[in-house]
Structure 1
Amino acid sequence: MAPGPPILLILLSLLPLSHSSSLSPHTTAISPTKSPSAPTPLTSPAPTHSHLPSPSSSSSSSTLDPKQIRALQSLNIPTSKDPCIQPSFHNATACDASKPFRHLLSLRLSNCSDDLEMSITALKSLSTLTNLAFINCPISPIHFPSELTSNLRSFTCIKSLKKLTGVWLGRMQNLTDLTVSGVTVNASGPSIILGNMKKLKSVTITASNLTGYLPKHWHLNVTHLDLSGNKLKGKIPSSLTQLENLEFLNLSSNALNGEIPSSFGDLISLQNVSLASNSLSGAVPDSMAAMPALVHLDLGTNQLNGTIPKFISEMKGLKYLNLEKNNFNGVMPFNASFLQRLVVFKVGGNTNLCYNHSTISSKVKLGIAPCDKHGLPISPPPARESGGDSSGGSSSDDDYSMGDDINHKESHHHGPSKVVLGVAIGLSSIVFLIVFLILLSKWCG
């Protein structure tokens, strides 16, 4: 039985060999065709330096299509690591799972150099992209090949490409997500851009000097619409309220006028709405009472008038409410419990609006005056703007007059004490003088 141990040793020695012959599930198989520009990755199983590829990206060749590798290299994007597995810090990528080569589906270029140029050849090679983003890339305008234009589903341009036109953007008709911000868009109105984008769900065109009027026709699958910070004018079309799936609406900081459409409440899915910093007038439409999902309502800095509707206080999910700098009048219909539910509440700058001081403490700085017994704002005393706030919680019908009475009594209280002090000092001086003269006469005598 002596041969037993040597045979066991031989079997044990074969185990590491059989283990090393199987590929790790994270290891990319060697591609039969290697791009001449793709270097051979290091094969160290446990690199200790941050600039070395991780084990999951170790392969003798990139799995990406060689044509797309050359296209990325022309854009100064490093390809020493497989872009499908380990994108660089500034340039994010995503790929499909096709064989023998994978293809790019998503590419984000950020913080580009000013001299970067995108050739038509490189863009044709990248026509498999469905998601393309430029962030802080102030490069020259680009002509997209038709293959890429029709394939894109998401396009983002933030402070990039220097200048865009509505016609150029409008060619990407299959987009579901469009984001343009901080770059001038030359167009006669949003319709030029959005008219043929029938699949759009999210639209963001902000701070782009966009002029013209809001579209009269909308594609009903839009859920996110942000056209803030532009130069749009005219009225809000009632057709906008047909977007029953709309959850986010921001039309702030434009030059919109007229009244809020009476059918605005038809936007039953709306959660966040901002119409601030426009020239909207008229009353808040009663139909807004039928918007149960509303969380954020910003109507500040307009010319809205009438009374604030009481139904706003019945919106259980509301957290942000801005009604400041309008022309609202009458008694504010909110109590302390409603205000406590809010994270942000702004109502100042409505000179004809007042609050019921019997239900809201004067410690809450609202920026409006308390009401008198007739439901009218109590004018603050001259040159004492803080006097009204400090006395707003009193049970008197006229808080400011009570505050004046208190100040008046205090002034009378301080006046006599000063007179008494002056008389005492005068009498003390006379007594001292008399004593001094008596002592002087005795000394001379």
Structure 2
Amino acid sequence: MSLYPPLLSIFLLLSSTVSATAATAADSPLSSPPSAPSPSTSPAPKLPTPSPASTSPLDPRQVTALDSLNIPTPKDPCAPQPHLSFAATCDSSSPFRNLLSLSLFNCSGDVALSSDALKSLSTLTSLSFLNCPIPVVRLPTELALNLRSFSCINSLKKLTGVWLSRLENVTELTVAKSSVTASGPSIILNNMRFLHSVTLSHANLSGFLPKHWHPNLTFVDLSGNSLKGEIPLSLTRLENLVHLNLSSNSLADTIPSTIGDLSALQNLSLGSNSLSGPIPESLSELSGLTHLDLGSNQLNGTIPNFIRDMTSLKYLNLERNNFHGVLPFNATFIQKLEVLKVGENSNLCYNHSTLGSKMKLGIAPCDKHGLPVSPPPAKDSQSDSSSDNSDEEDYGDSGDKKHHHGPSKIVLGVAIGLSSIVFLIVFLILLSRCCK
């Protein structure tokens, strides 16, 4: 009788395993491989969700493919790995699981991509490389169309825009600190109709910004390239855009007057370009903006009052431009900011009666005419400058000080001279009497 409980437990376990296998067999990619949707007719693709409950082994073909790439493969590639060079997730298919995502980190020189091996990994929907400077190979068409997410950070040698453009069905594309040979971002992005998030940062891109953008975009980062020309009006029609970073390029002309149409925008970074003209009034309509960087441009005019009414703002950079006039911010607005940069605007000043004389903004206080009274002091000579200013306030003009002290020294000199003569005469008289 003591054997029944263990036998009963084993039976129940086998029953549950058989039930799970039967339930998932119909969804196995081996019986019906996934087909990539046609970009022109299919809805936006969705990423499959892996099931951690499955205990089936990985497809032997994919194990062989991983081995051929010289990737150190653990006994169970689908299990969380303690090291930092390999990570994967799998589906719950039976009798063999299939890879859904593959991430390679800090690749050694032995890792080598192979088109044949990648063909066996066509079930992947996510592929990532981090610090893997290995040569690229042509992606098999089935894998290229099946990918929904692609990431390449400081990785992949000889990457081209044409290579990236074949990832037609991705919703997330990230290429950062990886040189891409392309005439501009358009050749990469034009065919990606499902794209929601794109990062092409510090990728050595030149040329112009695209004229056409896919309306589903919520995140755009093209910073740190050599893009030139103006910001196209089509970019301001992306109603779902939350993050726009075009900083550190060579963009010129003015900020589009329709920038306020980006009603969902929370982060706007246009710093370190060659943008000119005033800050457009429509910017006041971006009530959810938390990050605004317009620094290191050639913007001019006065800083508009509406900026101080942007209650969500936490980061504000307006430094190194050509703004003039009185800074329209009060102490309450400045104190709620986490970062404020307005320095190196030589014709900009602040109202010291409103902000106090101890406020360090990198700009001079205003005189009664709203003009800077003096250039902002250098950091190294700040204490000396303060001392000089206090001396001037106590004694007035330096010329008056010289005129005031000059006569006192002359009188003192004459007095000393006369006293010396009198003393000499008295001494001689006394000496002559003593000699008699």
| TM-score grouping bracket, smaller chain normalisation | 0.7 to 0.9
Structure 2: distance between partners of 1:381 and 1:407: 22
Partner of residue 76, structure 1: 70
Residue 386 (1) aligns with residue 387 (2):
no
When normalised by structure 2's length, the TM-score is 0.79
- Write the deviation string for residues 195-233 of structure 1: whole angstroms up to 9, x where unpaired: 111110100011111000001111011000000000000
Residue 294 (1) aligns with residue 298 (2):
no
* Count of residue pairs brought into register by the alignment: 383
Residue 216 (1) aligns with residue 204 (2):
no
The counterpart of 1:261, out of the listed 256, 259, 277, is: 256
Partner of residue 341, structure 1: 336
1:18 CA drift (Å): 4.1
What amino acid does structure 2 have at the position aligned with 1:386?
Q
1:361 CA drift (Å): 1.7
When normalised by structure 1's length, the TM-score is 0.77
Q: Quick one: structure 1 residues 348 and 208, their matched pair in 2 at CA, closer, same or farther if it must change by over 3 Å?
A: same
Residue 146 (1) aligns with residue 141 (2):
yes
1:28 CA drift (Å): 12
- Write the deviation string for residues 101-132 of structure 1: whole angstroms up to 9, x where unpaired: 11111000111122321222210000010100
Partner of residue 63, structure 1: 57
Given that residues 202 and 223 in structure 2 are in contact (C-alpha distance below 8 angstroms), is that contact kept between their aligned partners in structure 1? yes
- Write the deviation string for residues 153-199 of structure 1: whole angstroms up to 9, x where unpaired: 11111111112111111111111100001111111111000011111
Q: Quick one: structure 1 residues 264 and 23, their matched pair in 2 at CA, closer, same or farther if it must change by over 3 Å?
A: same
What amino acid does structure 2 have at the position aligned with 1:116?
V
Given that residues 344 and 362 in structure 2 are in contact (C-alpha distance below 8 angstroms), is that contact kept between their aligned partners in structure 1? yes
Q: Quick one: structure 1 residues 25 and 262, their matched pair in 2 at CA, closer, same or farther if it must change by over 3 Å?
A: farther
Structure 2: distance between partners of 1:25 and 1:406: 96
Structure 2: distance between partners of 1:231 and 1:247: 23
Structure 1: distance between partners of 2:18 and 2:293: 52
Given that residues 163 and 183 in structure 1 are in contact (C-alpha distance below 8 angstroms), is that contact kept between their aligned partners in structure 2? no
Report matched runs for 1:221-232 at 5 Å. Answer: 221-232=216-227
Partner of residue 188, structure 1: 183
Given that residues 296 and 320 in structure 2 are in contact (C-alpha distance below 8 angstroms), is that contact kept between their aligned partners in structure 1? yes
The counterpart of 2:130, out of the listed 128, 131, 135, is: 135
Report matched runs for 1:317-328 at 5 Å. Answer: 317-328=312-323
Residue 330 (1) aligns with residue 325 (2):
yes
Q: Quick one: structure 1 residues 317 and 203, their matched pair in 2 at CA, closer, same or farther if it must change by over 3 Å?
A: same
- Write the deviation string for residues 389-443 of structure 1: whole angstroms up to 9, x where unpaired: 859xxxxxxxx98762226599979x89x98xx99xx9xxx9xxx9xx9xxx9xx
Residue 15 (1) aligns with residue 11 (2):
no
1:89 CA drift (Å): 3.2
- Write the deviation string for residues 137-168 of structure 1: whole angstroms up to 9, x where unpaired: 11112110000000011111111111211111
Structure 1: distance between partners of 2:203 and 2:376: 46
Structure 1: distance between partners of 2:15 and 2:371: 76
Alignment partner of 2:167: what SS? coil
The runs of 5 or more residues in structure 2 that have no matched partner are: 22-51, 432-436
CA RMSD of aligned residues (A): 3.7
Alignment partner of 1:109: what SS? strand
Further displaced range: 72-81 or 261-270: 72-81
Residue 246 (1) aligns with residue 241 (2):
yes
Partner of residue 53, structure 1: none
Partner of residue 363, structure 2: 368
Further displaced range: 154-163 or 16-25: 16-25
Structure having greater relative contact order (Cα 8 Å, sep ≥ 6): 2
Given that residues 241 and 266 in structure 1 are in contact (C-alpha distance below 8 angstroms), is that contact kept between their aligned partners in structure 2? yes
The runs of 5 or more residues in structure 1 that have no matched partner are: 1-9, 32-56, 392-399
Alignment partner of 1:147: what SS? helix
What amino acid does structure 1 have at the position aligned with 2:5?
L
Partner of residue 30, structure 2: none
- Write the deviation string for residues 85-111 of structure 1: whole angstroms up to 9, x where unpaired: 234532110111122111111000111
- Write the deviation string for residues 309-364 of structure 1: whole angstroms up to 9, x where unpaired: 11010001000000000000011110000001100000000000011111102222
Q: Quick one: structure 1 residues 22 and 382, their matched pair in 2 at CA, closer, same or farther if it must change by over 3 Å?
A: closer
Partner of residue 106, structure 2: 111
Alignment partner of 1:269: what SS? coil
1:386 CA drift (Å): 3.4
Structure 1: distance between partners of 2:201 and 2:240: 21
